[in-house]
Amino acid sequence: MNTKDHDAPRIRIIDGLNCARLDRAQFEKTLTGGIAAFNLTATRPDTTVNGTLESLSDLMHIVEAEADIVTIVRSVADIDRAEAHGKLGIILGTQDSSFLDHDPNLLRVYKTLGMRIFQPVYNSQNRFGCGALVKPDTGLTDAGREWVSLMNQLGLLIDLSHCGYATAQDVMAASKHPVIFSHSNARALVDSPRNIPDDLARRAAETGGTVGVTMWPPLLNIKNRPTLDDFADHIGHYLNLVGEDHVAFGGDLSEGTKTLEDWLALYGPEAIWPEVTGILGAWYTYESRATPGFETMADAQNLVHALSRRGHPDRVIEKVMRTNLLRVYRTVWGE
């Protein structure tokens, strides 16, 4: 991607969830798109302690090799410094805490390693609670309450995007700090079990947190391949529902990570989450796995333009695409 093909970014975006390839070419695309920092899924769901350490080791090696354009950030001050030096900031996060099943106190170790954002559970069930696809959702467990308490104590940010609704409600009731849904669209607009109902969005806002609109196509539209208008629809819904201080962006673009064979194994005729992708129209294929207008991180400013076309003022767009998440990060991390 040639940076000359893109205008200077209008807004330096904070991406609340990113799963893209980790190499120099991808970092350059992301910088071209005007991304200041993103929450990286640094460890895979349903992994082990050894698996997380291997993933973190691999990531640190890559970042060290490309240290002139990318850095791991542990605070909002770090994000500011990275921006000042023209570097992409990587926030270390995970979408599943199952690797902590046997000892939540390992959170102390992972904080020392630089991790800052954790989801308690992915789509299934673990010792802490139930994921979005578990029926019935029996809510947060005693171990889960211990996990929440320790997350608060350590100043780590809780993300509820893949939680079941009852588990999410229980976490928000137990947490003394703001929580986020980093990449969960409005179920009022798209009836997917991975999207969230309005009451959960309101409750997240009441904690001081945010709800993040994602660009993953199955959560933007079911009948038809989504467009940037669908993204703007979800943003508009949340703005009307919870206000401009509590809406954010979480792209979830896994650019450069899946071959056709990989994609078919996850989302093909025998999809691992048929409740989510099995309900889609025939439009959902490998070739249409990303939303037009945001098929590469280099085009992230198209999202800013889409919101501008809807008449949202720059002040609101900057909150949604940047400053709301920075506020939450600073509140929870304390720096």
Residue 39, amino acid: N
Residue the block writes with tokens 């696809």: 133
Torsion of CA 283, 223, 272, 165, to 10 degrees: 150
DSSP string covering 132-174 = TT-SS-----HHHHHHHHHHHHHT-EEE-TTB-HHHHHHHHHH
Supply 220's token pair.
């933007």
- Interacting residues of 319 by C-beta distance below 8 A, sequence separation 6+: 244, 245, 247
Residue 157 near residue 332 (C-beta atoms within 8 A) = yes
Alpha carbon separation from 145 to 20, 173, 207, 213, 332 (Å, rounded): 32, 10, 17, 27, 18
The pLDDT of residue 4: 41
Full-model pTM: 0.96
Q: What is the DSSP letter of 299?
A: G
The pLDDT of residue 9: 76
Domains of the chain: 12-333 (3.20.20.140)
d(CA 254, CA 276): 17
Residue 126 near residue 102 (C-beta atoms within 8 A) = no
d(CA 229, CA 325): 23
d(CA 96, CA 105): 15
* Local mean pLDDT, 10-residue blocks, the chain (335 residues): 59 97 98 98 95 98 98 98 98 98 95 98 97 98 98 98 98 98 98 98 98 98 98 98 98 95 93 95 95 97 97 97 98 94
d(CA 120, CA 158): 8
Helix axis angle, 165-174 to 198-206, nearest 10°: 10
d(CA 120, CA 97): 5
Rounded to 5 degrees, φ, ψ at 333 are -75, -25
Alpha carbon separation from 172 to 117, 197, 208, 293, 331 (Å, rounded): 15, 15, 11, 34, 16
Q: Which residues does residue 93 pair with via DSSP β-bridges, in sequence order? A: 41, 117
The pLDDT of residue 5: 52
d(CA 324, CA 334): 15
Instruction: Spell out the SS3 assignment of 25-43.
Output: HHHHHHHHCCEEEEEEEEE
d(CA 98, CA 121): 7
d(CA 28, CA 13): 15
Q: Which residues does residue 211 pair with via DSSP β-bridges, in sequence order? A: 181, 247
